Structure 1
């Protein structure tokens, strides 16, 4: 029996939304994922990380035999789409594929995925541009950030500066506020960070943003988690410099 696959591409964005994306550098797909899908995926990742015997690719720290409970549910799960079918399908959500094609002008490919936990009390990441970490040519790098629960200022939402994707690549240096942000990252320089605005997302909302958009996250000051599934994409004719991200995943 031949199995039929869905290849018709959606066009979920209005012309106004596309224009707003190019003006601001980001947009929100409201209710991009159903609650059922989000609940199923959260439970799936929990099952992977709570297993008595964990696959090597899923371990918080590669090569480490003993895994603490704290590490299981605090350290991000990196590139699960390369090993796990559910994570791969979450990267290939039809609404994301369609929206990316509309803002990029052609089909996109997936190159990276990360499941973030951000438990209560954990710090955020200082203001930066994704292109600083993932160079590609021509630059078409775009993120799709899926809120796995309600996310606001209290539990460490993203903050963005609209329109900064038009400034080009800015210099990055040492993180200034180590009480608020992780020390191992870098922070953009030469920009007024008081211009940042919070991006509040309901469970299932998807934030799509340009790789040059300046964005950050704050410390989780709540008793709630701030789980998210974040994928990075490039247009099919772009190439990645980093060796670990050169594999392109078709979204068809």
Structure 2
């Protein structure tokens, strides 16, 4: 019988406690610059092709604007980025059991583009039992100028909040939804260096700002994971991707 590769335990007990308390944890330098550079070049090659594969295809003028949705289902490199050993280990420590991948998104955020208003991921992706965690890899330096994330520490303990229309349409995309009934002045910035990995709870209230830079992008690879015994309600996200390889 094949055995499963041993799992890493990259988080300290204090970090696990911080995640439980705040709803997020940032691992510094969790992914090497070399790997990120090759991954960015790989996705750039796919979107630069004269004929893009169907799963990544967009209008030519949008090839470096619109996200690549669920590349892990079609591309081996994107799949392995979802399954990084440090990610598998951290998620198991947070969840108490093996995690499985359910969604991936390679984000472009060009200069001048809007962010997403404060929201909770669970509003869009219901899962039962509720165990979903986002893993956000910074593919370059991310700060307030180019549209970093903002979070409200501890907001995951409020449960699912009501969501309504976006209020600041000059700052945020109007087609999304915005949390209501919480003090958004409590949001704090999450600045990330290239290679940092942010894990956050699916009930954590978070947002992103407009990219105000003149020539800086904000590329990131964001995957969603659930505990292996959880189930996603959405039909398009029901496929579970194990994060371990067998020997």
TM superposition score normalised by structure 2 = 0.97
Q: Could you tell me which residue of structure 2 aligns to residue 21 of structure 1? A: 19
2:119 aligned residue (117, 120, 128): 128
In 2, the alpha carbon distance for the partners of 1:54 and 1:108 equals 31
- SS of residue in 2 equivalent to 1:170: coil
Q: How does 1:41-120 map to 2 (within 5 A)?
A: 41-60=39-58, 67-68=59-60, 70-120=61-111
Q: How does 1:111-190 map to 2 (within 5 A)?
A: 111-190=102-181
Q: CA RMSD for the aligned pairs?
A: 1.0
Alpha-carbon displacement from aligned partner over 1:97-154 (angstroms, at most 9, x marks no partner) = 0000001000000000000000000000000000000000000010000000000000
Alpha-carbon displacement from aligned partner over 1:187-240 (angstroms, at most 9, x marks no partner) = 000011000000000000000000000000000000200000000000000000
- SS of residue in 2 equivalent to 1:39: helix
* In the alignment, structure 1 residue 247 sits paired with structure 2 residue 245: no
Structure 1: tracts of 5 or more residues without a match: 61-66
In 1, the alpha carbon distance for the partners of 2:143 and 2:186 equals 17
The CA deviation at 1:5 is 8.7
Pair 1:74–1:5, CA change in 2 (3 A): farther
Structure 2: tracts of 5 or more residues without a match: none
The runs of at least 4 consecutive aligned structure 1 residues that moved more than 2 Å come to none
TM superposition score normalised by structure 1 = 0.95
Q: Could you tell me which residue of structure 1 aligns to residue 222 of structure 2? A: 230
In 2, the alpha carbon distance for the partners of 1:29 and 1:92 equals 16
